[in-house]
Amino acid sequence: MTKLSVNINKVATIRNARGGNVPDVVRFAQDCERFGAQGITVHPRPDERHIRYADVFALKEVVRTEFNIEGNPLGERDHVDEGPYSFVDLVKAVRPTQVTLVPDAENVLTSNAGWDTECHQTYLADIVREFQSCGIRVSIFIDAIPRMIELAARTGTDRVELYTESYASHYMVGKERAIQPFVEAVHVAKANGLGLNAGHDLSLENLSYFHQCVPETDEVSIGHALISDALYLGIENTIQQYLNCLR
């Protein structure tokens, strides 16, 4: 079964809007696991506009499923109570199950492109080895482009995460056409010995069809849509509905 990792960034966004610790992101992560989620994802950014570096350390102490930290290893340094940390420092200190390398610029609202694995081949290979030497599984966030996937495999990465925004945005106007690049991408990934994750704009509306066509997916990471659905359905019911899409 494809695993569901819940991205809890939006919970931290709500907390930060008011100050204090409501909602409590650590308790929320524990509840997600209790309700069936098989992983927790966070994407700390240097400005700490949602998940803070201190949250990552706190979550490491309680997450019992897979813990996935997303981010850009080229990001600027930031500060938490424990001292100054870059993204690389943070990941090596926490040692999550998985680190997902995402090439987002500091000023972007959300991740909007995958790595150019040709341009950044040497750097990615070096950082993949660095994280793997700490026992951390590495995934590279990437567009569904065969050439980029083949070059990602040369870095030694364990997995790639397919950037699914194009699938989600074209789903309603032609789901068969929208899914086709991802079906091809899966074949390329598997032929190159890569594990496969997927994420960005997957929802209750489009997840079942994605999974039906790409059942080889190891994990989906879903945040914005899932947290939005939980406002209406409740978090327990929402997680169950997403899990049903993956069965």
238 in Cβ contact with 210 (< 8 Å) = no
Identified catalytic residue from 33, 66, 70, 219: 70
Identified catalytic residue from 120, 200, 211, 219: 200
The H-or-E segment that residue 177 falls in is: helix 165-191
* 70 tagged catalytic: yes
Q: How far is it, in rounded angstroms, from Cα 120 to Cα 209?
A: 33
101 in Cβ contact with 135 (< 8 Å) = no
Q: How far is it, in rounded angstroms, from Cα 211 to Cα 181?
A: 14
Query: Which residue, among 171, 167, 199, 203, has the nearest Cα to 184 in the 3D structure?
Result: 167
Identified catalytic residue from 33, 43, 66, 120: 43
Query: Which residue, among 163, 54, 71, has the nearest Cα to 108 in the 3D structure?
Result: 71
25 in Cβ contact with 59 (< 8 Å) = yes
List CB contacts of 114: < 8 A, sequence separation 6 or more: 103, 140, 141, 142, 143, 145, 148, 163
* 48 tagged catalytic: no
* 187 tagged catalytic: no
Q: What is the per-residue DSSP string for 80-124?
A: ETTEEE-HHHHHHHH--SEEEE----TT-SS------TTTTHHHH
Catalytic residue ranges: 43, 70, 200
